[in-house]
């Protein structure tokens, strides 16, 4: 095997030191047809993607390498065994740009490209190099109209594939600066498109390699192609032989249990190898290119000489660590899923825990999300580090990692993966826990929470069991910013027990929202929105209240929750009874001293806490008498005004008698419409704004009722605690309910 060298297609035919001389390229008879130009959807996608990459390299000046091209070099003729598809495309691209720049000459060395698969294809390439395309038609239209175009080419699959590729090239490059594109394509010092050439010593060597790569006489599977190429690119590395042997023996056995319906392990093994190679790139601060072989070139190719051996060793170790265990049982002993009834293992709030199997079945790199997601990626990497480095204290570090992942949905994205991978390795590998929590990319609030919990357990060891149970609670998922950690063990443990007994029962959530409001405004603001935790079955809403942000952000919520839990801890009665007692005490005392503010109304009337999201938006970006109660998270979906919902229920109004769904900005007036008359009612801080019916007869009935309620200038005023107070002195829901009931009874 001769030494490989880097070149471009335009300079492939130049003389080189050592006597290597390529005079022409000849696609050998044993090769398949030109597949990149086929008409099926898969080939179309590959073709378009490849030409886009060439366009970016040439027009946008982002040079690319097309990996290895290797084959038999016999008396100056290179017969590619791998790379004929890329070489054919480059030949066609050179012809197209040479034509558009007026530089096409049959004497140019790059035109010496032959196809031996079919005489017709060989003749087509020969004649193509003698005729320039000038546009503006598609290339295939122009070619098929030429006098020299042979009818038999319409039945040659290779020629037809070339025509499709030429049309794709034309579609992408027609608007380019042709002179500049040609200059970049043929630049010797910095070519836009380059590749490694590996000439083989003899036809026998080449045929042996070809047989190894394609012994079944049909297109290679992606894994077979990758494996053969990987062997070539790693051939000079110290452990390359051992790696290749394991691929065919021990590792095939390892992956056999995960085989697909085709009874092959090819896809499963390739997915795991790609996963580990992408991790290896992130460890070096790099990002993966398009396909598996591109990853291999990045890790093991000539441009990465210094780290190539270490990278191959990392890849091998990342597979070897699973060889001596029952993988499914191992993961089952470490973690438990949402669907598991096991009492052991760390709850990871996911349906599957066998991360290795998940990776083999679903790992892929694609835009718009990954089936094997960022959380699974980081968790599996933690296991790889632990098993390969034999780290200590792993259950504790795995728990912390779970907590960090759950708190970092905004941080878990591709551009952060190098930093996150480094954080995982620090967390798992660093013996000292303080140093292990010096992390840079995970959610900083949760990093702080983890440090606070470590300090709290050191200070009060008796809280550890209760603290771990709280971390495992599905509403908290590792975040304890809603709990005061700087308290004695008895207080902390009592609060933890009451939290578990109350918040683990979804049936208590409506009562909990009222009880917490009875203590104070526990909401968590986020922009113009206020999160209260849903009274319905919406755990996500509670997590916004209990876990979002950092400890400082959650102070008000933490203080109010502590007061409620302490009150509950003073009695052994059932949680529901205790919560209802807190609510009753508040409702009885509040009006006499503080009046009827928005908080009193939300406690008093459950329907005002009936929004599915637990999110409220105020008309003036504050909590008051003008509220939007959201069922979803955006104002552009239908929502309700909780005060209007309450008077509808108070009046016992039939469902079809009013329209009370709104959308749009919170400052837009929300006018409930009485369907029979068109009368409208709006809740405002001063009371109720009423729009009378337009029908004269109906208006007479309305005026009678308006006089009874003292409506002046269409405003039903609600008495305030004092002249300067905005707080109601009477229950506006009772008054509004009576008004609405009389309007409906009057036929309005």
Mean pLDDT of 268-288: 94
d(CA 8, CA 74): 20
Residue 218 has a pLDDT of: 47
Does an H or E element contain 70, and which? strand 64-74
Residue 170 has pLDDT above 80, yes or no: yes
Please report the pLDDT score of residue 214 as a whole number.
47
What is the rounded distance in angstroms from the CA atom of residue 447 to the CA atom of residue 467?
16
pLDDT of residue 215: 44
Checking 616-622 for CB contacts under 8 A at 24+ apart, the result is 616/523, 616/529, 616/530, 616/532, 616/642, 617/528, 617/529, 617/530, 617/666, 618/528, 618/530, 618/666, 619/666, 619/667, 620/667, 621/528, 621/666
Q: What is the DSSP string of 510-541?
A: HHHHHHHHHH----EEETTEEE---SSS-HHH
* Tokens matching residue 511: 């009562």
Residue whose C-alpha is closest to residue 452's, from 463, 441, 651, 243 = 463
pLDDT given at position 250: 87
Q: How far is CA 64 from CA 55, 226, 298, 381, 666, in A?
A: 10, 19, 12, 30, 52
Q: 722-748: string of b/e by CB count within 10 Å (b at 16+)?
A: eeeeebbeebbbebbbebbbbbbebeb
Can you read off the two tokens belonging to residue 376? 């699974």
Tokens found for residue 92: 């066609």
Answer yes or no: is pLDDT of 238 > 50.
Answer: yes
Confidence of residue 117 (pLDDT cuts 50, 70, 90): low
Could you tell me if 29 and 23 are in contact, meaning their C-beta atoms sit under 8 angstroms apart?
A: no
First CA to last CA across the chain, in angstroms?
Answer: 95
Q: Quick one: 111 exposed, middle or buried, by C-beta within 10 A (0-12, 13-18, 19+)?
A: buried
The confidence score (pLDDT) of residue 31 equals 56
pLDDT tens for residues 422-459? Answer: 999 999 999 999 999 999 999 999 999 999 999 999 99
Q: How confident is the model at residue 2 (pLDDT cuts 50, 70, 90)?
A: low
Q: How many CB atoms lie within 10 A of CB 571?
A: 11
Q: What is the pLDDT of residues 138-156, one digit of tens each?
A: 999 999 999 999 988 988 8
| pLDDT given at position 32 | 59
Q: What is the mean pLDDT of residues 226-239?
A: 83
Give the pLDDT of residue 213.
47
pLDDT at 125 over 70: yes
Please tell me whether residue 193 adopts helix, strand or coil conformation.
strand
Pick the closest to residue 718 from 746, 679, 748, 689 (CA basis). 689
* DSSP-derived 3-state class of residue 5: strand
Residue 135 has pLDDT above 80, yes or no: no
The reported pLDDT for the residue numbered 71 is: 81
Starting at the earlier edge strand, list the strands of the sheet with 5-7: 5-7, 193-200, 64-74, 77-82, 24-27, 113-115
Q: Give the pLDDT confidence score for residue 76 in this predicted structure.
A: 85
Q: The tokens of 374 are what?
A: 């960022």
Over residues 537-558, the mean pLDDT reads: 94
Question: Can you tell me the mean pLDDT for 264-269?
Answer: 88
Among residues 571, 673, 662, the alpha carbon closest in space to that of 611 is found at 662
Beta strand residue intervals within 624-686, DSSP E: 627-630, 639-640, 658-659, 672-674, 680-684
Say what the pLDDT of residue 600 is: 95
The three-class DSSP label of residue 29 is coil
CA distance 502 to 518: 16
Nearest partner of 741 among 705, 691, 699, judged by Cα: 705
Could you tell me what percent of the chain has a pLDDT over 90?
A: 65
User: In this structure, are residues 179 and 62 in contact, taking their beta carbons and an 8 Å threshold?
Assistant: no
User: For 594, phi and psi rounded to 5 degrees?
Assistant: -115, -10
pTM: 0.73
pLDDT in tens, 57-78: 999 998 888 877 878 888 888 8
- Give 53 or 43, the one with higher predicted confidence: 53
Do the Cβ atoms of 405 and 412 come closer than 8 Å? Answer: yes
pLDDT digits (tens, 9 = 90+) for 351-410: 999 999 999 999 998 766 788 999 999 999 999 999 999 999 999 999 999 999 999 999
- State the average pLDDT for the chain: 89
205 pLDDT higher than 70 = no
**Is residue 480 a contact partner of residue 490, using CB atoms and an 8 Å limit?**
no
Condensed to tens digits (0 to 9), the pLDDT of residues 641-688 reads 999 999 999 999 998 899 999 998 888 999 999 999 999 999 999 999
pLDDT grade for 216, boundaries at 50, 70 and 90 = very low
Nearest-angstrom CA–CA distance, 33 and 159: 9
State how far the alpha carbon of 735 is from the alpha carbons of 41, 86, 709, 718, in Å.
68, 80, 9, 9
pLDDT at site 160: 92
Confidence of residue 304 (pLDDT cuts 50, 70, 90): low
């Amino acid at each position: 095997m001769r030494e490989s060298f880097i070149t471009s297609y335009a300079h492939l035919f130049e003389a080189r030191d050592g006597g290597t001389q390529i005079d022409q390229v000849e696609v050998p008879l044993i090769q398949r047809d030109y597949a990149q130009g086929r008409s099926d959807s898969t080939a179309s996608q590959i073709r378009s993607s490849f030409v886009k990459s060439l366009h970016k390299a040439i027009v946008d000046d982002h040079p690319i390498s097309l990996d290895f091209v290797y084959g038999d070099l016999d008396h100056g003729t290179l017969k590619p065994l791998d790379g004929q598809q890329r070489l054919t495309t480059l030949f066609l691209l050179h012809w197209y740009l040479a034509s558009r720049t007026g530089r096409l000459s049959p004497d140019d060395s790059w035109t010496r490209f032959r196809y031996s698969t079919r005489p017709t294809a060989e003749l087509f390439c020969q004649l193509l190099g003698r005729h320039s395309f000038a546009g503006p038609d598609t290339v295939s239209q122009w070619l098929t109209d030429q006098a020299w175009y042979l009818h038999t080419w319409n039945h040659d699959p290779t020629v037809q594939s070339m025509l499709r590729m030429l049309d794709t090239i034309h579609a992408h490059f027609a608007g380019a600066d042709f002179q500049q594109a040609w200059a970049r394509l043929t630049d010797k010092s910095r070519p836009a498109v380059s590749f490694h050439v590996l000439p083989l010593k003899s036809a026998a060597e080449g045929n042996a390699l070809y047989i190894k790569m394609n012994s079944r006489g049909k297109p290679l599977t992606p894994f077979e192609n990758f494996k053969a190429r990987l062997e070539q690119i790693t051939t000079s590395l110290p452990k390359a032989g051992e790696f290749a042997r394991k691929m065919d023996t021990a590792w095939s056995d390892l992956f056999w249990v995960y085989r697909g319906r085709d009874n092959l392990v090819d896809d499963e093994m390739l997915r795991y190898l790609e996963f580990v190679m992408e991790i290896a790139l992130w460890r070096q601060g790099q990002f993966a290119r398009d396909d598996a072989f591109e990853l291999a070139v990045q890790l093991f190719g000539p441009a990465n000489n210094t780290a190539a051996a270490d990278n191959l060793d990392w890849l091998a170790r990342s597979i070897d660590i699973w060889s001596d265990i029952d993988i499914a049982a191992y993961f089952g002993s470490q973690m438990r899923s949402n669907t598991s009834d096991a009492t052991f293992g760390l709850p990871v709030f996911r349906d599957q825990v066998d991360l290795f199997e998940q990776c083999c079945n679903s790992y892929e790199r694609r835009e718009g999300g990954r089936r094997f997601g960022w959380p699974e990626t980081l968790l599996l990497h933690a296991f790889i580090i632990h098993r390969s480095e034999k780290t200590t204290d792993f259950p504790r570090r795995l728990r912390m990692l779970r907590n960090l992942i759950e708190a970092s949905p905004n941080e878990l994205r591709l551009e952060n993966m190098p930093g996150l991978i480094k954080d995982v390795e620090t967390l798992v590998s660093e013996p000292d826990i303080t140093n292990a929590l010096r992390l840079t990319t995970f959610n900083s609030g949760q990093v702080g929470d983890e440090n606070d919990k470590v300090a709290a357990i050191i200070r009060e060891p008796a809280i550890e069991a209760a603290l771990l149970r709280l971390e495992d609670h599905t509403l908290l998922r590792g975040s304890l910013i809603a709990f005061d950690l700087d308290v004695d063990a008895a207080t902390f443990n009592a609060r933890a027990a009451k939290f578990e007994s109350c918040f683990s029962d979804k049936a208590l959530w409506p009562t909990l929202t009222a009880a917490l409001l009875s203590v104070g405004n526990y909401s968590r603001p986020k922009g113009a929105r206020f999160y209260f935790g849903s009274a319905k079955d919406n755990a996500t809403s509670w997590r916004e209240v209990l876990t979002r942000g950092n400890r400082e952000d959650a102070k008000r919520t933490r203080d109010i929750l502590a007061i409620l839990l302490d009150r509950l801890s003073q009695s052994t009665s059932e949680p529901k009874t205790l919560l209802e007692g807190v609510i009753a005490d508040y409702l009885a005392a509040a009006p006499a001293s503080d009046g009827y503010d928005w908080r009193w109304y939300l406690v008093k009337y459950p329907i005002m806490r009936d929004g599915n999201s637990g999110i409220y938006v105020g008309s003036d970006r504050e909590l008051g008498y003008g509220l939007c109660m959201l069922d979803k998270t955006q104002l552009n979906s239908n929502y309700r005004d909780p005060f209007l919902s309450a008077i509808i229920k108070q009046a016992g109004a039939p469902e079809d008698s009013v329209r009370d769904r709104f959308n749009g900005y919170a400052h837009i007036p929300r006018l409930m419409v009485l369907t029979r008359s068109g009368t409208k009612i709006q809740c405002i801080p001063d009371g109720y704004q009423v729009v009378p019916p337009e029908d004269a007869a109906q208006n007479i009935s309305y005026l009678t009722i308006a006089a009874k309620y003292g409506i002046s200038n269409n405003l039903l005023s609600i008495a305030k605690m004092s002249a300067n107070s905005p707080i109601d002195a009477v229950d506006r829901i009772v008054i509004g309910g009576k008004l609405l009931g009389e309007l409906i009874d009057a036929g309005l």
